[in-house]
Structures are given as C-alpha cells and as structure tokens.
Structure 1
Amino acid sequence: MVGSLLFLVSGYLAFVETSRRYWIWRPKSLAWQIVFANLIGCVAFMIAAVLAYVPDGAEAWWIPVLANIQLFAGALGFLIGSVLAMRESGSAAAG
C-alpha cells in the first residue's frame, strides 16, 4: 500500500513537471500523453492496492476480480506510456 501511494505521488509529480501546472488537459502534446498514461496506471495500481487489503472476515466475491482488473488497467497504462515514449525518442532522434 505504501509503495503504491509513493508510486502515485511520483506519477503525479512527473505530470506536474511536464505540464508546469497542477492539472492541465493537453492531449495533443506527446509528452503530456506519456505522463498522463503513466498517471492513469499509477491510479489503477493504487485502486488495486486498496482493494487488495483484506480485513478479518469474509470478503465479497467481486473484490479480487475488480482488483485484478485494476492491475491489468495499470499495466496497460504503463505499456501505453512506454510505447509513446519510444515514439517520442524515435521522433527526437529523427528530428
């Protein structure tokens, strides 16, 4: 849980660094797309971490399913971010 929280903070700090603001919507900027995809991945991992907490007693059947969906969504966010980063580095090398 602590690792996911710190991961979320680092994703948000990268977003702020790239955007130069606390929140901005610039979907045409490739750098913004990269950090936004990573931030979405961090949020999904944090949701999965919260759902993975199992207190004493029985848990609902849908909680592990939703946690796994969030893990997949987080991994997908990081995959999209890394593919976009490869695109960005390729255009920087060509330009």
Structure 2
Amino acid sequence: MTPDRIIRLRREAWGFAVGSIFFAVGAVPFYAEAVGPVWTNATFAVGAVFFTFAAFIQLALSGRRPPRRGTNPADRADWYAAAVQLLGTLLFNVSTINALITVLNTDARVGDGWRPDALGSIAFLVASALAIVATKDRHTLWDRHARTWHGTWLNMIGSVFFGISAVGAYVIPDSGDLVSLFWANLGTFLGALCFLTAALLSRRSIHVDGTPAAAPTASGAS
C-alpha cells in the first residue's frame, strides 16, 4: 500500500513567498498613500530581509554544495545561481534600509524613497540566466526537482520586471523626477507576483510521518 503523503513548501520557498508579498503590497499606490512613505519603505525593507533569509537557506542548507573539480555543469550553474541571487538580495537590503533611513529625514525629497536597486536587479537577472542553464540538464542536478521550467521562467520574468522597474525608477539628475513612477511601481508589483507564484509552486511530497519523499513532478523552482 502506498504511504499517504502531504505537500509542503520547501523551506526557502516560505521566505521568498513572504518577501514577495511585502514587495507587491509596497508597490501598490493606494497602500503607499494610506500608510505614508515611512511605512511603505519599511515594507520593502522587511520584504528584502525575508528574501535574504530565503536565499541563504537555498544556498547553504537545501543540499547545494560549492562547485569543485568534477562538478557537473548543471550543479555548477545551480550553485552559482543561488550564490548570485543571495548577493542580489543583500544589495536590495542595502538599498531598502538606506531608503528607510532617508525618508525618516524630514527634508527627504519625493524621489529619495526606495526604488528597485539596479545592481540587485542585474544580480537577479544573472541568477535567473544561470538557473535556466541548470534547468536544461536538471536530470543531473543534486536534486532533479530543485529546478523546473515553469519555476525557472517565472523567476526570469520576475527579474525582467524588476529590471524594468529599476529603469523606471531612475532619477533624472536635472529635475529630480523619476523616469516613470508608473513603471517603477508596476514592474515591482508584477515581478513580486512572479516570484510569489514560483515560490508557491515549489513544493515537495513527504509522508505523513515526516519522512521526505520524492518531490512531485509539478514542483517549482526552489
């Protein structure tokens, strides 16, 4: 008789899911108008912390090992994808915390608040590209369910939206205005939804007694 199983999110997926929710909420104009710039930037800062915890777990605790001689190309790309993603989350931590400190200053300008960090967005794009390389030969990965096409591409699309948001958030030096506040917010919102969906699709099957079982074929990227 086949043992009963339940579906659980991967450990790191919880952090990515919660962080994505914070970023999506913070990008909604109605929310920003209701709570003000301090709480809006605090929302982004908290979301970035969840992203970083999740990225650390993904890199250090989920089974990945640093590449060494003889590591197959998929595992090598997978590890570097997780490492670059962790770097990207740290960059977002720096930008969101700096922005929160800035808006606490009563003399802060409208454009001084948090906007998607360009370097963090680039890191996310690089990590997503490496994840695609790893997914191409995922049958050779340390965990063949660690990457799947729908999860990998959702993360790539989310990274592209964050990149669009970073462009829209560029502050024009002469005027101090953003290139596009609309795209700065929409890119962040849509990108966060992509990351949230990818995280929620990242799940594994375990037996009811807690024994890990093979991940279901529908699982998403971890």
TM-score range for the pair, normalised by the shorter chain length = 0.7 to 0.9
Is there any run of 5+ residues in structure 2 with no aligned partner, and where? 1-117, 138-146, 207-213, 218-222
CA RMSD of aligned residues (A): 2.5
Give the greater-gyration-radius structure (CA).
2
Give the TM-score, by structure 2 length.
Answer: 0.34
Alignment of 1:58-69 (within 5 A): 59=177, 63-69=180-186
Corresponding letter in the other structure for 2:200: V
CA deviation after TM superposition for structure 1 residue 59, in Å = 4.0
CA deviation after TM superposition for structure 1 residue 70, in Å = 0.6
Identity value in percent: 39
CA separation in 1, counterparts of 2:216 and 2:165?
A: 39
Alignment of 1:1-95 (within 5 A): 1-20=118-137, 31-56=148-173, 57=175, 59=177, 63-86=180-203, 89-90=204-205, 92-93=214-215
4+ residue runs of structure 1 moved beyond 4 angstroms? none
> Number of residues paired by the alignment?
83
CA deviation after TM superposition for structure 1 residue 85, in Å = 0.8
CA separation in 1, counterparts of 2:167 and 2:152?
A: 23
Aligned match of 1:27: none
CA deviation after TM superposition for structure 1 residue 17, in Å = 1.1
Bigger relative contact order, structure 1 or 2 (CA pairs below 8 A, ≥6 apart): 1
Give the TM-score, by structure 1 length.
Answer: 0.74
